[in-house]
Each structure stands twice: as C-alpha cells, then as structure tokens.
Amino acid sequence: MKIYLASASPRRREIMEKIGIDAEIRVSGADEDVDESDPAELVEQLSARKAVSVADEIDSETGAVSGQPYCVIGADTVVSIDGRILGKPVDEADAHRMLRSLSGRTHQVYTGVTLVISPGKDADCDVISFHEKTDVIFSEMSDEEIDAYIATGDPMDKAGAYGVQSYAAPFVSGMHGDYYNVMGLPACRLYHELKLQGVI
C-alpha cells in the first residue's frame, strides 16, 4: 500500500524511517485555524484536517481513477502547560516567554495522528484519529541560557519553542511517555496502528 506523510517536518520523516516506513511527502495546505481549547482534541482535529486534505488531493489526481489503495498519515503537535496551549512561537520574544514558562516545570506534549486509509476502487476511506501525551520535565533555565538557545534559531519552528532532539537537550531532565511523541510522531503507537489496520 502506498503511504503518504502529510508533513514537511524533517523530524517526522526521520521517525518514519526509524520504524521502517518509506513514505512519500505530500505537504498539506489545510486551514489550521481551529477554535479548540483541549489540546488532545486540538491535535486530533488538526491531524485529521491535514490527512484528509492530502487524501482529497490524491483522489482528485489519480486515486479514484487508478483504484490503488493508499494511506495518508497526518500529524500535529502542541505543548500544554497550566491549561495553555503553546504552538510555534511567532517571534523571539514569544519564544522567550514560552521557554520561561517551561523552566523548572513539567509540561505536556500532545501529538495527534490521523490515518486516512483508502482501499481503492471507489470504496469509502477509513479515517482513524488518536493522540499520545508525554510529560516532559525541564530544569531551571536562566534568561541568558534562554537567549543563547533562541540565538541558535532552533526554537522558531517548534511547538513550545524547543526541540528535544537538538539544542534543548541540556534542559530536559526527564520525561514520562514516548520520546518520539515529543519529536512529532508517537513511533510505537503509530507502528502498531498501521499494523492493526493492515497498512504494513
């Protein structure tokens, strides 16, 4: 079955490779403006929008005509602390505020995943959404350390303004849950869901 990843994230592509899945990248142009305050619901809704948008594009091009089965994987990740959802920072000052709020505390990372599975031959698609949550513990960060980290540019395209796999490593003192979920895809859950659905 042809597998598509509806994401431009190099981290998600790397995780797909780690679980042995060769996916074609198809970036979604879906509207990501969602009025939802619950982080678990938010990431599931956004992952579904991304996956369905790419599936619609595939069907309009070849899917419905060729009848070839496929699976689109959409994902979205946010950080949550004190009931606030932290997406990607809009600027360096926003990144500083986010990192200051995370310093010395435990926060949650939610990643939602949606699978759109088309059996082909004009049959209806199955749409399956789920999410994973990981608790991440940060050590105390000084303002100088935060500014130095922001100066690397690493925080600017990441939910919560940090990348656990890169220059934020010195500040992550522990976690409970899937490490890869914090990177952007819950590797274990995704692998087993793909097996359960007969995609791999």
Contact present, 15 and 184 (Cβ < 8 Å): yes
- Tell me if residue 76 is catalytic: yes
Q: Which amino acid, 199?
A: V
Rounded Cα distance, 76 and 130, in Å: 11
Q: Which two tokens stand for residue 100?
A: 């200051």
* Residues 72, 28: Cα–Cα separation, whole Å: 11
At residue 7, the 3 state secondary structure works out as coil
Q: Answer yes or no: are the C-beta atoms of 87 and 78 closer than 8 Å.
A: yes
Give the pair of three-digit tokens for residue 131. Answer: 């999410």
Active-site position among 35, 76, 122, 178: 76
| Residue pointed to by tokens 């220059």 | 167
Q: How far apart are the C-alpha atoms of 163 and 113, rounded to whole Å? A: 19
Residue carrying structure tokens 């089965």? 69
* Continuous segment of H or E residues that includes residue 64: helix 64-66
The number of angstroms, rounded, from the C-alpha of 121 to the middle of its chain's C-alpha atoms is 30
Active-site residue list:
76
